[in-house]
Structure 1
Amino acid sequence: MSQQQIQQRIQDREKEVKLLQQEVEAINHSADQTVKDSEKIFTEMIRLIQKRSCDVKQQIRSQQQTEVSRVKDLQEELEQEITELKRRDAELKQLSFTEDHSNFFLNYPSLPPLSESTHSSSINVRPLRYFEDVTAAVSELRDKLQDILREEWTNISLTVTHVDVLEPEPEPKTDFLKYSCQITLDPNTAHTHLLLSEESRKMTLMEKPQSDSNPSDRFTYHGEALSKESLTGRCYWEVEWKGYFFYIAVAYKNISRSGDEKFAIFIYVIYNFSHSIKQQIYTYMLF
């Protein structure tokens, strides 16, 4: 290696070191900002829950006062009625002790009439439950929030672990293998002229339709099929094939299943081999 080549390599490595240092600073800045934003969001969520808790508490207390006031008014009316009944009972008892019956019949009509009772029937005693339904509703809300947090926490954790950090481009095949993933084809998306075999890992183009069913996810124009697996982050897989040509692409799950334009189905065609090849080859793909 010449001195010029050594100096050039030194410059290249110094640039790489500088880029890596910038990457470290960017990671730290992004992490700090994300922690700050996350704390703010969680604080807002906690405040919202606390506010709703105060609202429920206030509503319960208000209803408590209303119900207690209603019951106390009823209790007071009943106590007044009891007092009046006791007074009338005492007056009748006093009159009953007189020996002059004519005097009894003379004085009885002069007694003041009893006030009409506002309660024609007895008070129904209900089970002492009252606000238990509120407790059940709040418990149900708690369970729903726990389910949502449990589900969303998985998504958040996956997002955190798939941070797009600068990594050196893999060169030898051994570097690619750490990103390898097993791909299986979804039969519900496969065109009717495609035959899936070997546990949906092999796809063969056939002259005649292979299925009479027509699921809504099936491709209807091009001979295509989607994988069952979703791809996130860096992914590497190998495709063994033989024949004249084929297309490999990365696409969204909800892409159109019909269309007569050559690339109307796949969002982006990665490889397009259109020359005749008789022998088997391997295609290495990394995204």
Structure 2
Amino acid sequence: MAQASAVFLEQDQFNCSICLDVLKDPVTVPCGHSYCRVCLKGYWDQDDYLGIYGCPQCRQSFAPRPVLGRNTMLADVVDRLKKTGLGSPAVPAAPPAPLAEPTAAEPGDVACDVCTGRRNRACRSCLVCLASYCETHLKPHYESQAFQKHRLVPPARGLQDSLCPRHDKLLEVFCRTDQHCICYLCLTDEHKAHDTVLASLEMTEKKVTAVEDDSERICTKLIRSIERRHGELKELVRAEGRAALVQAEGLLERLEQQIEDHRRRESELEQLSQTEDHIHFLQVAAVHLLQSADCCEVTLDPNTANSYLSLSEGNRRVSTGHESQNYPDHPERFTSLAQVLGKEGLSGRSYWEVEWSGNGGITIGVAYKGIVRNSGGTDSKLGCNSKSWSLDLADGLCTFQHNKTKLEIPTPISPRIGVYLDHKTGTLAFYCVSPRGDTMTLLHRVQTTFSQPLYPGFWVGLGSTLKVCPIFNFTA
């Protein structure tokens, strides 16, 4: 019985870190880590074109490809483990500490998914069951061997977001090529030749990089801002006397607000660094990285607006109506389609967000200044020519379009969309942004070559309204 308990407590060392199951036909690589022969062969087959092969755990590289020899001693141990049934002991491990009495869930708490009637507050969430449990309903996870491999984390919302929408498997792998999480089945098809890593490892690396970079950037900007504001304050006091003090108080108040905002961001990053949910971390980290450095103010150009478009809120809100507006004639105005362009051309790195509502649908995109304005057909429509790229949201469908080539994107329609443009590298990406603006999901990314400045462009269907969202950005 003692022998059985000892093997059970260390069973994880007999699991393959690729398939997370007990080793089958185990092989050992030169660095000492062991895997199923089939799993490691499939993993290395992805890197054949590089000629360099790495260990999935420690990332040590080998060239040429090592010959995989069967680890007979390890295979012997695994066979005995299976035959004797030591992987399923009669006496499972006890919970790590006595569980407290369950308490009723309050507003804002994560509630138990098993409770009926008045639900108790959840104490843990299971990433395998994709459910949250109170102290009472969590006991089977500690008392039954059927749950011994389940992973428990602090109570979390949105557990369904941890599943692959195509395969209904856990998102345990991060694709560095496409910058989003995938499941292990995705590795066998569209992500086969991509640069991938375990999501937990990517989370650890990005935690360190994000916290270090953001802290350094915030501190530098705060110091510069304080020095500049201090100089402005001294100059105002000398030049304006008492009247300047009133203005100085306003400057100090704005500075205090900026400092408070950045303390809040530092606190959010600190909390983010403690999370065990790598899906949530990578989504939130993407928001901080895009919104912290590349935000731009997009203002709509009334000289390009179709006569049935109504602009308001400082030319940041647009809607389509039945009545024509009294706009003067202008050569840059769209005459046949309800479209409008941004006022400024973009040639660097830029990020902006829009919110929309209504049942007429919208189009969000970018275009060269030379896009046709007065075509009677669809040649001037965003995405229907070689001078524009667009994301269409209408009739429950999300479609990317360029030069009349369409690509349907299988995703729910979102009321808030983010657009990232890196003109120099030829990158254009569209994101689905959460209502609170704290997480984002990549919808589609284009890699091409841009030859001219690009203007944000929008088409607004009848009955729809679109608004450019203000995004907080601290500038030095």
Structure 1 and Structure 2 fold alike (TM over 0.5): no
Q: TM-score, normalised by structure 2?
A: 0.25
Structure with the higher fraction of residues in strand conformation: 2
More helix by share: 1
User: Which has the greater radius of gyration?
Assistant: 1
TM-score by length of 1: 0.40
Greater RCO, CA 8 A, separation 6+: 1
